[in-house]
Amino acid sequence: MMKPALVFDWNGTLLDDTDALLQTTNTILDRLGRAAIDMQTLRDHFDVPLSLFFRNLGMSERELETVDSHDSAIFHDTYEPLASKAELREGARRILETARQQDVSSIIVSNHIVEPLITQLRRHRIEDCVAKVLAFESRATQFKSMSKGERLRLYMRANDLNPSSTFIVGDMPVETDIARDLGLVSVAITGGFVSETRLRAAQPDYLIEDHHKLLPILQERGLFQHS
């Protein structure tokens, strides 16, 4: 019997760290003598790897090299202290706890790094709600080893997860692309790193503004029992 699962992106999806990302971006822009950006500009231009995002903001190759040097230390050293104060997104804890109660696996697939991500799960006391964290091993391998989609595909195959009853929830078009590629149900969540316009353009199966809206979808689709 193939099992259902919930797959979540982390940053901007479960963790409400969009302000931390904006502050980090503006710290870096300031160091390079560039003007700060606002939240709308961030959401219109954000992409990964970060070099793509900074290129979208008009950085030169030399500036990109400065930001990229030392495994993006300039980014991580600014971002992590800010993210360590970030809360979970509205309704995220309830969804994770409900999934655990109903014996549905929750998996995190992230472009972040495993260790700081697990530290955050412990800080929010949700580590026992998450079956597996699929992310980069270190700063040095970030965006250089396997992609999110490939990591998830291998994990699903190894753990006999049923694509048609696996939901992927994310705040960027990449999660909708992964869903299409692997045959999953896609749920895009606004209020994260990417604008609603860009999320709609990716044509997810569902578009929600917080995790409270996810609960009825999962009940309606038979993943959760009606309480």
Q: Strand, helix or coil at 5?
A: strand
User: How many CB atoms neighbour CB 87 within 10 A?
Assistant: 11
164-168: Cβ within 8 A, 24+ apart: 165/2, 165/4, 165/5, 165/221, 165/222, 165/223, 166/4, 166/5, 166/6, 166/7, 167/5, 167/6, 167/7, 167/218, 167/221, 167/223, 168/7, 168/8, 168/9, 168/109
What local confidence, expressed as pLDDT, does residue 68 receive? Answer: 75
Q: Which residues contact 130 (CB under 8 A, 6 or more apart)?
A: 96, 106, 107, 108, 121
pLDDT by residue, tens only, the chain of 227 residues: 568 899 999 999 999 999 999 999 999 999 889 999 999 999 999 998 888 899 999 999 988 888 777 546 788 889 889 999 999 999 999 999 999 999 999 999 998 888 889 999 999 999 999 999 998 775 555 545 668 898 899 999 999 999 999 999 999 999 999 999 999 999 999 999 999 999 999 999 999 999 999 999 999 998 888 76
Rounded to whole angstroms, the Cα distance separating 199 from 203 reads 7
H or E, element range at 8? strand 3-8
Structure tokens at 200: 């709609």
Cβ atoms of 205 and 196 within 8 Å: the answer is no
What local confidence, expressed as pLDDT, does residue 134 receive? Answer: 92
CA torsion sign, 27 to 108 to 200 to 89? negative
pTM, whole model, 2 decimals?
0.92
Q: Helix %, strand %, coil % for the chain, to 5?
A: 50, 20, 35
Amino acid letter, residue 112: H
Cβ atoms of 48 and 117 within 8 Å: the answer is no
Q: If you compute the radius of gyration of the chain from its CA atoms, what whole number of angstroms results? A: 17
